[in-house]
Amino acid sequence: MKKTLLLSLSLATSLLNAEDNGFFISAGYQIGEAAQMVKNTGELKKLSDTYENLSNLLTNFNNLNRAVTNASSPSQINAAIDNLKANTRGLTGEKDNSPAYQAVSLALNAAVGLWNVIGYAIMCGNGNDTGGGPGSVVFNNQPGQGSTAITCNRYEATGPGKSMSIDEFKKLNEAYQIIQQALKSQNGFPELGGSGIKVNVRYTYECKQNSNGSSINGGVDQFCQAKNGSGSSNGNTNTQTTTQDGVTITTTYKDKKATVSFSITNNAEQLLNQAANIMQVLNTQCPLVRSTHNENAPGNGSPWNISASGNACQIFQQEFSQVTSMIKNAQEIVTQAQSLNNQQSNQNAPQDFNPYTSADRAFAQNMLNHAQAQAKMLELADQIKTNLSAIPTHFVTYYLAACRNGGGTLPNQGVTSNTWGAGCAYVEETITALNNSLAHFGTQAEQIKQSELLARTILDFRGSLSNLNNTYNSITTTASNTPNSPFLKNLISQSTNPNNPGGLQAVYQVNQSAYSQLLSATQELGHNPFRRVGLISSQTNNGAMNGIGVQVGYKQFFGEKRRWGLRYYGFFDYNHAYIKSSFFNSASDVFTYGVGTDVLYNFINDKTTKNNKISFGVFGGIALAGTSWLNSQYVNLATFNNFYSAKMNVANFQFLFNLGLRMNLAKNKKKASDHVAQHGVELGVKIPTINTNYYSLLGTQLEYRRLYSVYLNYVFAY
């Protein structure tokens, strides 16, 4: 009886000093690493290249076949000729809907707008870096700061990279005045196929020489006096006549003021020449710009939010370069328009025309010339847009395409006292007009290409037939040598029609169903991330992953001291991983779920504190689970399954090791039969061991594995 009592007391004591059995739930944060393993033989790339090659061959074949067929049809030829005639009218006979006209307008307006933006800050004069300078020359109708004049009064030496000389400024001023006044008087320039209109140009400038200025470079009064050319005098008025580029220029000098007048033809060619003159002066002289704080000191690009210093060519390097290119491209558009205007109107094809035997092909050469000119004009119009887009966006938005209220906007307002520092040259409106005209022109660009191909086919019909036959042979050979592609069989066929004229009996046909499948397969394969990846013997890329985990289960302890225990649980982990590689980057949501069992061992077993008992120990075990990968590349990898059966496994069996440290905290029990709530913390690591064979196709293998996850869990037990 006594022994039994002692045993009962001993058991009760051990229960009071041991962690309770019971159910538990834990949850916490996980951080770890995932791996992506790739092997690739390059077969997928070869297939992608084959499909693209076939698609390109078929596109060329269809165009050639259409051209060969149309070349033997006078009605089709005449329809193409009529279309080219309409395009010529649209490009050279209209303004609003002509991409060519709007592109030329954009180049002109950009040149004028650029000068409006920077002209007020350009340093100019006739000094030699001595004294206070010889005086000033005031050029009227110029975008000066807060005025309608620019005063050239600098004392610095003139020349490239210095102050702009008066003679160079006069060249720029004349070009600027011609463009401004021509556009203002005629509300623009005539359409590219129209006749130019005579416009009278008149502008003034004034000389103000300092008292001792004549000793510095001859002073400035010389610029308001007659030099070369014939002339006459009447009191204090002197008139001089000169001829320049075939234009008679009359300059009247009176009271140290000069009035220049002449007539020019307002057309795109003339105005573009003047725009080129503006840019030629800027590009060759590269004048200094004045500081915003001190007009006697050189400045930098800060007034235009440009982080550059030096002369204008250094500050506005990109702007000068692109506007110059815009003008050159616009001049080429005008050249092409002139070629259209000068060529004979497209002739129709003879009704009995046979491209295989007929010798009369003059109409085809005319077609080709028109098509080439039109295609070039559209190409150049698009290039002018590209030139403009190469200028920094902030400069275009806030300066070149901007205008203050009352700043004056081309083509009908001219210069005001608020024009300076902003484009005020209709640039934004012209950009919109160009985009609208390109949209209005619509599919004509493709029709022009087809007309050009038709003309070339007629001019070299036998060569085109040979090219068509060679393309047919290339397609059949490529299709027959493409493995595992049954839909490519009978992709294209050839037959003979004896009713066709001599030399035209061969008839080619494309199997539209097979062609459609090829296009679909090419499009689907185009999304595959491995389509451009060559041979990869083995490549592994790692990426960080993090997430959360939950466990629910039961724990129990054994032995006299109850230090050893087991727990059984189900668990669910969610992690997000991002892995970068040389061929694609992918994000994955990783789900792991299953059951596990751990061995528990407490080094410290319910050590008593003031109000609680603490247990501390280790655990280790295994888990049987499933793993699912939801990968961002899934759609791109899976879409090709319509034609090739790729093996995709987003889920697989998983075997994990689980080990770590644990701590359990419980309130003191008054008697062994009491059952109290417990709180704990676990720091552990889970180590999965099996790869997920995610994707396999044509020698390409893609595998994923969650390498490990370190976790910190809160545990509640009862």
Give the residue with greater pLDDT, 301 vs 646. Answer: 301
Q: Respond yes or no on whether the N-terminal peptide bond of residue 411 is cis (omega within 30° of 0).
A: yes
| 538 contacts 592 by C-beta, under 8 angstroms | no
**Cα distances (angstroms) measured from residue 93 to each of 59, 108, 533:** 34, 19, 51
Determine the pLDDT at residue 8.
43
Query: How confident is the model at residue 673, as a pLDDT?
Result: 57
Determine if the pTM surpasses 0.85: no
Per DSSP, the chain holds a count of helices (H) and strands (E) of: 15, 21
Amino acid 88: pLDDT: 92
Residue 215's pLDDT is 81
Q: How do residues 432-475 score in pLDDT, each as one tens digit?
A: 999 999 998 888 888 999 999 999 998 998 898 899 899 999 99
In single-letter form, the type of residue at position 348 comes to N
Q: Among 512-521, 541-550, 663-672, which stretch is predicted with the lowest mean pLDDT?
A: 663-672
More confident residue, 632 or 104: 104
On the question of pLDDT at 16 being above 60, the answer is no
pLDDT beyond 60 at 11 = no
Q: Given pLDDT bands bounded at 50, 70 and 90, which one contains residue 72? A: confident
Question: Residue 12: what pLDDT?
Answer: 42
Contact predicate 456/368, CB 8 Å? yes
Average per-residue pLDDT for the chain: 87
More confident residue, 718 or 374: 374
Lowest mean per-residue pLDDT among 205-209, 249-253, 310-314, 611-615: 611-615
* pLDDT at site 642: 58
Is the pLDDT at 6 greater than 60? The verdict is no
Distances (CA, A) of 667 to 158, 518, 531, 680: 95, 73, 63, 12
Whole-number pLDDT of residue 426:
86
pLDDT of res. 9: 38
CA-CA distance, 248 to 448, in Å (whole number)? 43
Q: Work out the average pLDDT over 705-717.
A: 95
Is the predicted pLDDT of residue 641 greater than 70, yes or no?
A: no
Q: According to the model, what pLDDT value does residue 302 have?
A: 92
**pLDDT value for 346:** 59
Going by pLDDT thresholds of 50, 70 and 90, the confidence category of residue 518 is confident
Percent pLDDT > 70 in the chain is 92
Distances (CA, A) of 672 to 20, 614, 616, 663: 10, 16, 20, 21
Task: Name the E strands within 132-226.
Answer: 135-140, 149-152, 164-165, 197-209
Lookup result for tokens 């000066």: 144
pLDDT at 2 over 80: no
Would the CA dihedral through 256, 259, 260, 262 be positive or negative?
A: negative
Domains of the chain: 2-42+533-717 (2.40.160), 46-72+443-526 (no CATH), 124-301 (no CATH)
Tell whether the model's pLDDT for residue 377 goes beyond 60. Answer: yes
In eight-state DSSP terms, residue 501 is P
pLDDT per residue as tens digits for the range 120-144: 999 999 998 887 889 999 999 999 9
Give tens-digit pLDDT for 399-440. Answer: 999 988 765 554 566 788 889 999 988 899 999 999 999 998
Least confident span in 155-169, 511-525, 526-540, 699-713? 526-540
Helix or strand holding residue 682 (H, E): strand 678-688
pLDDT tens-digit map of 238-275? 888 888 777 888 999 998 999 999 999 999 999 999 99
Q: What pLDDT, on the 0 to 100 scale, is given for residue 289?
A: 95
User: At 229, is the pLDDT very low, low, confident or very high (cuts 50, 70, 90)?
Assistant: low
Residue 523 in this model has a pLDDT that exceeds 90: no
